[in-house]
Structure 1
């Protein structure tokens, strides 16, 4: 096909490898908080604050390890070998989550974090490298947009598998499906290796580069030591032991990235400075965006009208993408008016004789008669709204920027990132409207509020996330491209941890509108900062990107 001549043959193989890897990863994220807080079907029965802390820490370390994985790939392993190793470790980790044992659970999360460190930055770097070949170079932004669609095809379909499997078999079956998807991605990647083997070029150490063993001794060992020490600080500085450990562990790594700028050659200083500035503002985006697995999941689960009318002959129990709740007293875990689990002095959930907590804020006219039931869409299905919008909006965004390009009006890559932040800020205002509409949770909100929020933040995401990957590939000095890709994921990591910290504050806000307003202020401030830097960023971009 003529259109495909604009893109390298490697693209579909990398696309489908990433698609299946993200299938597993987003399947896990879609049900993670639900699994941790579940008290009825074999989950861990944790309170929402603890679950949000674990979620934020997990996704923080998932995106922290690419710094190490990118560095080792640059200097030692190469990109293709690193991707394969990472995929295998992640697959084992996903399968391990199917074992209902707390020790195995945390070991599995560790394997996923390490595996992602090897997989994520290096498959993105490979993609950038194959687009360095002519005649593909000018289509690199579009290539990353298409690649990003692969991520979201996996994220779209995985939640339907998760809902079906956990309803019919159990949580373990859903986690097993994530592992199978990951191994499919590894197989596809191996099949396509001949198309990107030439792009797997390790960067020899040059004069002035810090040796790998020294990076371990002056960056990672101090990070590990400081993190462990912070974990055992009496009390908490930033709210929890895990948060203290993560924040302090990041300090040596941040110092290392600062040293890259200080030690850069005169020619490399400006692009490195521009990338570090982009990394800094992107942290705020991820801090808000990644609340889809915590605060927005809570909103979908308890505050959103999830009723699904069943108008077919098949019994509701066989509609495997719905949950059934009965309007009749039953022995259930007690929840307060803000849907927090009520626990006794020993920290165990209090059992009571009452209705399913979903009925706490159902409008009287929508309450089923006593003894009858209603069918609810599985909460994790809302996690597919964002990838659905990515898939449907990506072609439109690509066409829009192509139309602007023909008229010499296309924003630069930094300009697209700036607009992404501004558009994302509007999504939080959508949720403020939802809070007012449902009288701060006294009645259920229409699902369209949440869908509208996801639509806006997705549009912002399309202007920011794939453009960030593209910008790193374009501006990075060649010998540290994968390392700077790790820097992008480090910024994502810090943002992810902040998302968990913000989510732990959900129960502190009696008026939930104020919670979403805080998110609006954060994103709005980040957008203002990058627009103020835009002339400087565009000058560097135009000088260094040909």
Structure 2
């Protein structure tokens, strides 16, 4: 496999000084994130829109819960998706197949055929993302086998910039979906993924064998056991679905609750398995205990942060003055505020962490993130009060301030979590721990979708205030244990701010 050094030495085509294979992966991820964030920006608005406006007319509580479990499952399937690539397909084919399935999902949603096509599309997007998301990052790392860490970190910084550029998709998908036709917006997301696939195939030769073969291909005996277990799981799932349908529990609400339970049960079970494993040493078990608390803090953070696509998006549509110079801006465009701030502040935070060095520990950064997310919801409570029960529209500056606080928290937690996951992972579970980290987002998003049901019962002011104060309190409690966590984990985190 050719490396960056050999590419430069031979005068080959480079991408900002990196092998051109990075450009192939950069644009694939950028277009996949374009499709993901584009859909995320309009999904809940489409679900609650009345049929007269071509929406599904779904109750707000149900729509928020469905959005929550959709985003949860996207991250939940990263763990099995990585396993499939490592043992069966290889990363390169997994990314290609995943992107194709994602495109089919968006195409299904682009068909104005009712709720059935919407649910089919969401399932396909979830399955496809599970194959693409974890494995494309793995391929970036493998492009730099034998290279120094500085070159690899520089590559990932460029790669994550592609994620942030792609997350500006609401400018296109949001406009088409809200101001023209919902299904045209979904179609635009499909086109974006199709463009990413085309350039991925055309640029495949620049990858030079990276990800062509599974890292640990199943033996014939393992393959037979895998097929047997898979068949049993599918059969059991079909039985559960049949029983639920027969008893009248196969509803959107029932499915979202079941998936939320799954999103909580799996990480709990996985941590229990690791704690009991004879392959984990006593010292690793102590570090794993510290990591479990950070995992809980991250799940709480994402529970609040990812409500941007649900409650905050609906608030923007109903209660924010979106008129700009006589033109009414689509509410989905407010979903661009966060990635724009990320792009503006990423370099600042990278400099700040290097400047502060060991003086600011992981626990302190996580606590700060929880306080920032909490304060953002306290501010949302004040903004909700300023609407006087929805009779007055407030300035867009309220949402900008809310997203600024949340982004400061994101930049303090998301890249730190990636770093601490690699440092605290037990040796026997090192290759699986990044998938475990994504389970924190999955659990937080699923629970957040269910918690959002309380908004109608509590009212906006009390809902945002209670959640905000709870998050602030959790951050302050975490501050009390900073010294203990610091002693267990050590210092010297090296970060590269990113979106997921």
* TM-score, L = length of structure 2: 0.82
| Residue 186 of structure 2 corresponds to residue 175 of structure 1 | yes
| Residue 274 of structure 2 corresponds to residue 260 of structure 1 | yes
In 2, the alpha carbon distance for the partners of 1:41 and 1:412 equals 50
Aligned residue in 2 for 1:73: 85
- CA deviation digits over 1:474-508, x for unaligned, max 9? 44356644532222222211111112112222211
Aligned residue in 2 for 1:243: 256
Aligned residue in 2 for 1:289: 305
| Residue 41 of structure 2 corresponds to residue 27 of structure 1 | no
Kindly indicate which of the two structures has a greater share of residues assigned to helix.
2
In 2, the alpha carbon distance for the partners of 1:54 and 1:384 equals 22
Aligned residue in 1 for 2:335: 383
Aligned residue in 2 for 1:300: 316
In 2, the alpha carbon distance for the partners of 1:529 and 1:214 equals 46
Unaligned 5+ segments in structure 2 are: 9-14, 495-500
In 2, the alpha carbon distance for the partners of 1:465 and 1:55 equals 21
Q: 2:112 aligns with which of 75, 84, 100?
A: 100
Describe the shift of the 1:216–1:450 C-alpha distance in structure 2 as closer, same or farther (beyond 3 A). Answer: farther
Describe the shift of the 1:222–1:474 C-alpha distance in structure 2 as closer, same or farther (beyond 3 A). Answer: farther
Shift of 1:198: 4.6
In 2, the alpha carbon distance for the partners of 1:469 and 1:91 equals 28
Describe the shift of the 1:468–1:48 C-alpha distance in structure 2 as closer, same or farther (beyond 3 A). Answer: same
Describe the shift of the 1:544–1:389 C-alpha distance in structure 2 as closer, same or farther (beyond 3 A). Answer: closer
Aligned residue in 1 for 2:163: 151
| Residue 43 of structure 2 corresponds to residue 43 of structure 1 | no
Secondary structure of 2:53's counterpart equals coil
Between 26-35 and 37-46, the greater mean CA deviation after superposition:
37-46
Unaligned 5+ segments in structure 1 are: 311-374
Would you say the 8 A contact 2:93–2:212 is kept in 1? no
Would you say the 8 A contact 2:267–2:436 is kept in 1? no
Secondary structure of 1:45's counterpart equals coil
State the Cα RMSD in Å. 3.7
In 1, the alpha carbon distance for the partners of 2:198 and 2:443 equals 31
In 1, the alpha carbon distance for the partners of 2:294 and 2:238 equals 29
Would you say the 8 A contact 1:24–1:179 is kept in 2? yes
Would you say the 8 A contact 1:19–1:154 is kept in 2? yes
Shift of 1:298: 1.5
Q: 2:467 aligns with which of 499, 519, 523?
A: 519
| Residue 447 of structure 2 corresponds to residue 489 of structure 1 | no
Aligned residue in 1 for 2:393: 444
Would you say the 8 A contact 1:230–1:245 is kept in 2? no
Aligned residue in 1 for 2:97: 85
Q: 2:354 aligns with which of 402, 409, 425?
A: 402
Describe the shift of the 1:404–1:544 C-alpha distance in structure 2 as closer, same or farther (beyond 3 A). Answer: closer
Aligned residue in 1 for 2:405: 456
Aligned residue in 2 for 1:335: none
Describe the shift of the 1:521–1:75 C-alpha distance in structure 2 as closer, same or farther (beyond 3 A). Answer: farther
TM alignment of 1:221-240, pairs within 5 A:
224=237, 228=241, 240=253
Aligned residue in 1 for 2:498: none
Aligned residue in 2 for 1:109: 122
Secondary structure of 2:445's counterpart equals helix
* TM-score, L = length of structure 1: 0.75
Would you say the 8 A contact 1:438–1:444 is kept in 2? yes
- CA deviation digits over 1:48-89, x for unaligned, max 9? 122212212222222221121122223333322222221111
Shift of 1:300: 0.4
In 2, the alpha carbon distance for the partners of 1:397 and 1:226 equals 50
